[in-house]
Structure 1
Amino acid sequence: MTNQQDNQSSGYITLLTLVAALGGMLFGWDTAVISGTVSSLDAFFIAPLGLAEYEANSLLGTLVSSALIGCVIGGAIAGVLSQKYGRKKMLIVSAALFFISALGSAIPEMGFYAIGSSEANQALPQFIFYRILGGVGVGMASMLSPLYIAEIAPAKIRGRLVSFNQMAIVTGIIVVYFVNYLIALQGGESWIQTLGWRYMFASEMLPAALFFFLLFTVPESPRWHAINGHDKEARNTLAKLHGPKEAELEFSEIKESLSHHTSGKLFSFGLMVLVVGILLSMFQQLIGINAVLYYAPEIFKNMGSGTNAAMLQTIIVGAFNVIFTLVAIFTVDKFGRKPLMIIGALGMCVAMTALGFSFYTESMGISVLIAMLAYVAFFSLSWGPVCWVLLSEIFPNKIRSLAMSVAVAAQWITNYLVSWSFPLMNNNTYLTEQFNHGFAYWIYGGMSLLAALFVWKFVPETKGKSLEEMEKLWDNDTSSENVVAKKSLA
C-alpha cells in the first residue's frame, strides 16, 4: 500500500471510529445526566406522595438507579442480536433507544396526561420505564461500540482506536455536567424542579439523533459479514479499510479462523476465555471507580468541604479522567496492554490505601485530594480504556459478540453492586466509628492488588496481534494447562 493509500485508509478508519465512539459519548451522557436532576425528581415525583422517610428514600434510589437495570438487559442481549442482525443495525437500535428515552424522560406523562398538567407528577412509572429503556441503549452501546471499532481497526493501532470509546465516555460525562449547569442557570430552584430537569434529559436528543443518522453512513463490520458467509461484502469492506492487498491477506486469516471445527457456541473455545473476560469486567468495577465517580461530592464533603468546593473538586476529578485517558490512547499500542493494566492497578492500590489512611487518621488536608486524583489518573490510563480494548480483542471471532455480551452484563451487575454497597460501608455507624470513612477505600485498594495479580497471571498480551492470531490462545485442541502457561508467558 502506498503512503497516500495508507493515509486515506487511516483517515477513513478514524472517521468510522469517531462515529462508533458517539455510542460511548451517549453512554457517558445518559449515565451522568441523572446527577443534575436528583433533587428535582425527588421534589416533582416523590415529595407529593407523602411517604415516610425510608419509603421515600428507597423510591428515590429506585428511580435514580433504574437505568442500571436496562444496562444489564442491554449488555446481555446485544451479543445475540448483533450476531444475528449485525453490529451496525444494533448500534442504530441503541441510538433510537437513546432518543426515545431522552424524549420520554423529559415528558413522561406524554400519552397519559396533559403535558405539564398538575397530574404530570403521577407519571413516575412511565419515567422509570423510559430510564430503563435508555439503560438498554447504554448496555448495548457499551458492548457494541468497542466491538465494532476493534473489528474494523488494523492491529497496530487497534488499542488506540478502541480507547477513543473510553475517551468519548468521559467526554460525555464532562459535557453533560456543564449542560446541566448551564440549564440550571436559566431559572431558580422552583423552575428547575418543574421545567429545568426536563431540559436536562431532553438535551440528549441532539447527540442521539446525530448518532442515529451518522450510523447509516458506516459499513457493517467485515468480520460479521465473513462469519455470516457474506464473503463479497467482507472483501469489499476490508478493501476500503486497508487497501486491496492487505484486504486479501486479512480476509484469508479471518476465513481460516472460521474454518476451525468449533460450533460457535459460547463454550466452544473452552471455559477459560469466558472466565478471563468476565473477571476483567468485574475487576474494572470492584476496584471502586464508580463509587468514587458517583459519590465524589459526598467524599469531599466527608473531608470537610462545602457544597461548592466539593462540586469544584469533582470537576477537577473529571478533568483528570479526561487527561489521563488521552495518555492511554497514545501509549496503549506502544507499551502494551498488560504493563498499563498492572501499573494502573498497583497505582490505584497505593492511592486507595493512602486515601483510607487519610480518613482513618483524620488527615483531611490536601492529601485526600492528591490520593483521589492519583487514583483517577491511574484508572484512566489503564483499567478505564484498556479493559475495553482487551474485551474487544481476546474473544475468538465465532463467539466474540456472545462472550463480550456476557462479560459486559457481568460488568453492569458488578457496577450496581459496588454503587449500592459503597454507602452501606461509608455510612455504617460501626465502621465510621472504627475507621472514620476509611474502610471502603481499603477494600478497593485490596481489589486493585488482586486485579494486578490477575492480569499478570492470566491475561494475554494482545499488542500488535490480529484478532485471528489471538484466537489461537483459546483453541480447544490445546489443554487448559498449556493455555494458562502460554498466557503467563505472553
Structure 2
Amino acid sequence: MKQDNNAYNAGYILGISFISALGGYLFGFDFAVISGALPFLREQFVLSTLGEGFLTGSLALGCIVGCLLAGWMADRYGRRPGLVVAALTFFLSSLGMAAATGFTIFVGMRFCAGIGVGMASMLSPLYIAEVSPTAIRGRNVAINQLTIVLGILITNVVNYFLADKGPDAWRWMFGLGAVPSLLFLLGVLFLPESPRWLLQAGRQAAAQKTLLKIGGPAFAATVEENVKATVRNAPAPSYRDVFGKAVRPAVLVGITLAVFQQFCGINVVFNYTSTIFASIGADVNRQLLETIGIGMVNTVFTLVAMAQVDKIGRRPLMLMGSLGLCVVYVVLAVLLSAKAAAGWISLLVLLAIAMYASSLAPVTWVLISEIFPNSVRGKASSIAIVSLWGAYFILVFTFPLLAERLGAYGPFYLYAGICLLGFLFIRAKVKETKGQTLEELEQRLTIH
C-alpha cells in the first residue's frame, strides 16, 4: 500500500530530522578539525609520516567500534538510546582531546570520539529514513549530509581564526567540539523513538502516537500495515541473517557503495588540504583559507543534491559524480605534478568537492538507509558503515605514505581509476529507489 505523501506534518518531520542530523555535525566537525590542527600536532607530538597517518585515521577505528555498538543497540533498544550515547561519548572525548598531554592519550581520546561519530553516522540517517514519508525521504536523509558539511565549514572558519592564537590553538579547536555535542544531547532527549522500530518491538500504541503526529490516521494505518507485512513472524535478527540469501544482494551493494564513497579519495582533500597545498609551496595561511573555500563549496552543492535527489533520482546522481571525479582527478594530478599555480589547483580541488557533494556524499547515505529490510536494517546498516569507516582509515592512513613515495599528485591517478570502477559498478548493480516506500524496496531488492 502506498503512503499518502500529501497529508504529512512537514514541520514536525523536519524538526526531528534536523535534531537527529546533528549527529552529522559531529561527523563534520571531527573531519575538519584535524585538517586545521595537523600543522600544530606535527610539532606538538613530533609526528612521523606513519604517526600522522595513524593519528588521523584513529577516528575511523573508533567509528568501526561505534557502528557495531550502534547496530546492536538500534535493534535491541531502539534508535534513540544509541543517539544519546553517541552525543555523550563525543562530548566527553572532545574535552579529553583538548586536555591531552601526550600522543597516546590524544589518540585514545580521538578513538573514543570515533565511537560517538560512528554511532551517529549509522543511527542519524537510519532514524531519518524511518520517520520520513516516501516523497521526501531522500531529501530528509540528505539533511544528515548537510549538517556534516556545515560542521566542516564552521569548523574550518573557527580553525582559521584560532590559528594565530599560539602553539596551543589546537586544544581550543578540539575542545570546542563539546558545544555541538551538548546541543545534540539535549535535542535527542526530546526525540520520539522510531515508529518502525516500535512496531517491530510490538509497541503499537507508542508507534501510532508518533505516526499520527507525522502524517495523520491514514498515514499511520498505511505504515503499520506495511511494517507488519514485512516483519510478521520474523525472529530477532542476528548478523548471520544479514548475510542470508534473501538479504545478501542488498548488503553487498551497500558495502560496496560505502567503501567506494571513501576509496574515491575525496576525504584526502578534506583531511590533507595542508599537505596538498604545501606541495606546491602555499603557506599555512593559504592552506587554511583553502579549507574555508572547500567548506563553502561543499555546503552549496550539498543543497543542490538535496533539491535533486528526489527528482533526478539516486542512480543518475551517483553515475554523474563518479565519472566526473575520475576526469577531475586526472587533471588535478597533472597540475600537481607540474606544480601549477595555487589558483589552478584550488579550482580543480573545488570542482572535485562540488562533484562529490552533489552525488556520492549524500546519496550513498540515502541508499544505505533505504535498501535493507526492516527486520535487519539496524545490523545491515552497521555492517555497511563499518565498511565505510574501515575504508576511510585505509585511505587517510595510506595517503601520507603514498604522497611521500609518489608525490602529492601520484595517489590521485589511483583514485581516478577507482572512480571509473565505481561508475561501472553503479551502472551494473545499483537500482533506483526514489518514490518507493521502504517496504516496497524490501520486496524489490531482496530474493524471495
Q: Could you say which residue in structure 2 is the equivalent of 1:216?
A: 189
Unmatched tracts of structure 1, length 5 or more: 48-52, 109-120, 478-490
Q: CA deviation at 1:207?
A: 1.4
Checking the alignment, whether the CA contact within 8 Å between 1:337 and 1:390 is kept in structure 2 is yes
**Secondary structure of the residue that 1:335 maps to in structure 2?**
coil
Relative to 1, partners in 2 of residues 1:423 and 1:34: Cα closer, same or farther, differing over 3 Å? closer
What code does the residue aligned with 1:266 have?
Answer: V
Checking the alignment, whether the CA contact within 8 Å between 1:349 and 1:448 is kept in structure 2 is yes
Q: CA deviation at 1:184?
A: 3.8
Q: Could you say which residue in structure 1 is the equivalent of 2:312?
A: 335
Pick the aligned partner of 1:256 from 203, 212, 229: 229
| Alpha-carbon distance between aligned partners in 2 of 1:62 and 1:197, rounded to the nearest angstrom | 18
Question: What does the per-residue CA deviation read over 1:190-243, in whole Å, with 9 as the maximum and x for residues that have no partner?
Answer: xx33xx333222211121111111111110001111111112212221111111
1:267 aligns with 2:259: no
Q: CA deviation at 1:74?
A: 0.7
| Alpha-carbon distance between aligned partners in 2 of 1:393 and 1:351, rounded to the nearest angstrom | 30
| Alpha-carbon distance between aligned partners in 2 of 1:23 and 1:306, rounded to the nearest angstrom | 33
Q: Which stretch has the larger CA shift, 154-163 or 228-237?
A: 228-237
Unmatched tracts of structure 2, length 5 or more: none
Relative to 1, partners in 2 of residues 1:284 and 1:215: Cα closer, same or farther, differing over 3 Å? same
Relative to 1, partners in 2 of residues 1:419 and 1:64: Cα closer, same or farther, differing over 3 Å? closer
Q: Counterparts in 2 of 1:87-102, with a 5 A limit?
A: 87-102=79-94
Question: What does the per-residue CA deviation read over 1:417-441, in whole Å, with 9 as the maximum and x for residues that have no partner?
Answer: 111222222221xx44xxxx44311
**Secondary structure of the residue that 1:334 maps to in structure 2?**
coil
Q: Could you say which residue in structure 2 is the equivalent of 1:177?
A: 156
**Secondary structure of the residue that 1:441 maps to in structure 2?**
helix
Q: CA deviation at 1:270?
A: 3.5
Q: CA deviation at 1:161?
A: 0.6
Q: Could you say which residue in structure 1 is the equivalent of 2:23?
A: 23
Relative to 1, partners in 2 of residues 1:364 and 1:427: Cα closer, same or farther, differing over 3 Å? farther
Checking the alignment, whether the CA contact within 8 Å between 1:356 and 1:438 is kept in structure 2 is yes
Q: CA deviation at 1:36?
A: 3.3
Q: CA deviation at 1:404?
A: 0.6
Pick the aligned partner of 1:230 from 196, 203, 218: 203
Relative to 1, partners in 2 of residues 1:358 and 1:305: Cα closer, same or farther, differing over 3 Å? same
| Alpha-carbon distance between aligned partners in 2 of 1:453 and 1:61, rounded to the nearest angstrom | 30
| Alpha-carbon distance between aligned partners in 2 of 1:263 and 1:8, rounded to the nearest angstrom | 31
Q: Could you say which residue in structure 1 is the equivalent of 2:125?
A: 146
| Alpha-carbon distance between aligned partners in 1 of 2:99 and 2:276, rounded to the nearest angstrom | 33
What code does the residue aligned with 1:130 have?
Answer: M
**Secondary structure of the residue that 1:333 maps to in structure 2?**
coil
**Secondary structure of the residue that 1:427 maps to in structure 2?**
helix
Question: What does the per-residue CA deviation read over 1:229-273, in whole Å, with 9 as the maximum and x for residues that have no partner?
Answer: 112212221111111111101110111111276763212434211
**Secondary structure of the residue that 1:131 maps to in structure 2?**
helix
| Alpha-carbon distance between aligned partners in 2 of 1:221 and 1:13, rounded to the nearest angstrom | 12
| Alpha-carbon distance between aligned partners in 2 of 1:41 and 1:208, rounded to the nearest angstrom | 23
| Alpha-carbon distance between aligned partners in 2 of 1:396 and 1:273, rounded to the nearest angstrom | 9
1:201 aligns with 2:174: yes
| Alpha-carbon distance between aligned partners in 2 of 1:58 and 1:361, rounded to the nearest angstrom | 26
What code does the residue aligned with 1:14 have?
Answer: L
Q: Could you say which residue in structure 2 is the equivalent of 1:161?
A: 140
What code does the residue aligned with 1:271 have?
Answer: R
Question: What does the per-residue CA deviation read over 1:305-334, in whole Å, with 9 as the maximum and x for residues that have no partner?
Answer: 333233323321221111100100101001
| Alpha-carbon distance between aligned partners in 2 of 1:362 and 1:28, rounded to the nearest angstrom | 30
Q: Could you say which residue in structure 2 is the equivalent of 1:305?
A: 282
Q: CA deviation at 1:176?
A: 1.4
Q: Which has the larger radius of gyration?
A: 1
Q: Could you say which residue in structure 1 is the equivalent of 2:63?
A: 71
| Alpha-carbon distance between aligned partners in 2 of 1:284 and 1:68, rounded to the nearest angstrom | 14
Checking the alignment, whether the CA contact within 8 Å between 1:152 and 1:221 is kept in structure 2 is yes
Pick the aligned partner of 1:137 from 105, 116, 141: 116
| Alpha-carbon distance between aligned partners in 2 of 1:348 and 1:124, rounded to the nearest angstrom | 35
Relative to 1, partners in 2 of residues 1:177 and 1:363: Cα closer, same or farther, differing over 3 Å? closer
Relative to 1, partners in 2 of residues 1:260 and 1:474: Cα closer, same or farther, differing over 3 Å? farther
**Secondary structure of the residue that 1:224 maps to in structure 2?**
helix
Q: Could you say which residue in structure 2 is the equivalent of 1:278?
A: 255
| Alpha-carbon distance between aligned partners in 2 of 1:287 and 1:58, rounded to the nearest angstrom | 22
Q: Could you say which residue in structure 1 is the equivalent of 2:423?
A: 452
What code does the residue aligned with 1:393 have?
Answer: E
| Alpha-carbon distance between aligned partners in 2 of 1:40 and 1:373, rounded to the nearest angstrom | 25
Query: TM-score with structure 1 length normalisation?
Result: 0.85
Q: CA deviation at 1:154?
A: 0.6
| Alpha-carbon distance between aligned partners in 2 of 1:172 and 1:405, rounded to the nearest angstrom | 22
1:9 aligns with 2:9: yes
What code does the residue aligned with 2:226 have?
Answer: E
| Alpha-carbon distance between aligned partners in 2 of 1:255 and 1:7, rounded to the nearest angstrom | 22
Q: CA deviation at 1:8?
A: 7.1
What code does the residue aligned with 2:181 have?
Answer: A
Checking the alignment, whether the CA contact within 8 Å between 1:304 and 1:364 is kept in structure 2 is no
User: What percentage of aligned pairs have identical amino acids?
Assistant: 39
Checking the alignment, whether the CA contact within 8 Å between 2:8 and 2:133 is kept in structure 1 is no
